[in-house]
């Protein structure tokens, strides 16, 4: 790792680094339980079983999505939650079920059998086009994962992590792993400001920031959610994760997974919403990136002098 500034010691910075160290501990031979799913690879489970639940909400301060003249009121918000569980059943979800969860992104009424079928077919089409037999794809789709639906939560309160800009199946392994180590992870899929499809734009990033704030507020009503808050942002999600602090919800840490904050698009957006005052960004930041990204531009990250940053 390299640091673009001298990290300022503090609980938030330690919290951000703890997420990285947790994710890397298996490589260092850390002690843990056997992984609950073959898709975990070399990751080692923590002390907790993992529960999975769905929250269907509507943000009535914002309009519904789509062209319908009389849709249900409010912006649909399906929140997928992984959490530390005590005793859990022996019927974990499968990869297929995770893929099908995206069918409900616009509310429970959208989770039709046809929409679920199309999502699974979309997932399977690429491996088939690369010569993978349908039987092998079906076997993968049936792979048991690490979470059990509606398992009883473990006793206590746990740090909250909000995962931005990832599908339920894309976030599943990382979220299960973190939940087994004592985090509550809440993920919400990206949507446009006015239409369901998400594309990078100022209006859609604004919408993602508000989605993140709604998710934090909703999750803090859960009895097993503690005070510590971290935001994990994948790609464009990292831009919204950093911007969230400007609206009054200040996490202890942000983790950027190859996030757009290391590119010109993200830096420009954050400069705009902050009024070009880089010192408004104070939350400790861990930015993981691939060096072969031709869009890398660190001038903005380097300007956030008030935020401890590790890259």
Contact 244, 212 (CB under 8 A): yes
Contacts of 275 by beta carbon, 8 Å cutoff, 6+ apart: none
Q: Which residues does the chain have with pLDDT short of 70?
A: 1-34, 67-71, 88-89
Q: Give whole-number Cα distances, 188 to 42, 81, 82, 157, 285, in Å.
A: 26, 9, 12, 21, 21
Minimal CA–CA distance to 89: which of 175, 178, 139, 149?
149
Query: What pLDDT score was predicted for residue 111?
Result: 87
The 10s digit of each residue's pLDDT in 75-91 is 999 999 999 998 766 78
Contact 242, 233 (CB under 8 A): yes
Query: What pLDDT score was predicted for residue 6?
Result: 34
168-180 and 11-24 helices cross at what angle (nearest 10)?
Answer: 100
Query: What pLDDT score was predicted for residue 246?
Result: 97
Query: What pLDDT score was predicted for residue 35?
Result: 75
Give the Cα-Cα-Cα angle 252, 15, 167 (nearest 5 degrees). 75
Query: What pLDDT score was predicted for residue 105?
Result: 87
Point out which residues pair with 288 in neighbouring strands: 257
The 10s digit of each residue's pLDDT in 297-306 is 999 999 999 9
Phi, psi (rounded to 5 degrees) for 221: -85, -10
Alpha-carbon torsion, ordered 270, 271, 275, 281, to 10 deg: 60
Query: What pLDDT score was predicted for residue 8?
Result: 38
Number of H helices, E strands in the chain: 9, 9
């Amino acid at each position: 790792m390299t640091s673009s500034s001298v990290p300022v010691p503090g609980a938030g910075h330690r919290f951000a680094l703890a997420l990285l160290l947790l994710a890397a501990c298996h490589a260092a031979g850390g002690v843990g339980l056997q992984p609950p799913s073959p898709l975990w690879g070399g990751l080692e489970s923590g002390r907790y079983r993992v529960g999975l639940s769905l929250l269907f909400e509507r943000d009535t301060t914002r309009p519904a999505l789509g062209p319908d003249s009389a849709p249900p009121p409010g912006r649909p918000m399906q929140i997928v939650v992984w959490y530390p569980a005590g005793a859990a059943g022996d019927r974990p979800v499968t990869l297929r079920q995770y893929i099908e969860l995206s069918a409900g992104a616009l509310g429970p009424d959208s989770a039709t059998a046809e929409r679920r079928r199309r999502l699974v077919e979309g997932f399977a089409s690429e491996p088939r086009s690369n010569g993978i037999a349908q039987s092998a794809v079906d076997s993968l789709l049936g792979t048991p994962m690490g979470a059990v639906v509606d398992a009883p939560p473990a006793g206590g309160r746990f740090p909250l992590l909000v995962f931005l800009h990832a599908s339920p199946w894309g976030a599943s392994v990382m979220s299960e792993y973190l939940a087994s180590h004592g985090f509550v992870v809440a993920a919400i899929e990206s949507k446009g400001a006015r239409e369901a499809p998400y594309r990078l734009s100022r209006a859609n990033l604004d919408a993602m920031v508000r989605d993140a704030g709604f998710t934090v507020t909703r999750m803090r009503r859960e009895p097993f959610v503690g005070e510590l808050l971290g935001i994990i942002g994948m790609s464009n999600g990292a831009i919204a994760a950093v911007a969230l602090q400007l609206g009054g919800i200040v996490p202890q840490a942000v983790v950027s997974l190859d996030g757009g904050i290391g590119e010109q698009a993200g830096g420009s957006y954050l400069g705009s919403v902050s009024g070009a005052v880089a010192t408004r960004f104070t939350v400790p930041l861990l930015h993981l990136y691939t060096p072969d990204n031709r869009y890398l531009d660190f001038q903005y990250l380097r300007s956030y002098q008030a935020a401890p940053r590790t890259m």
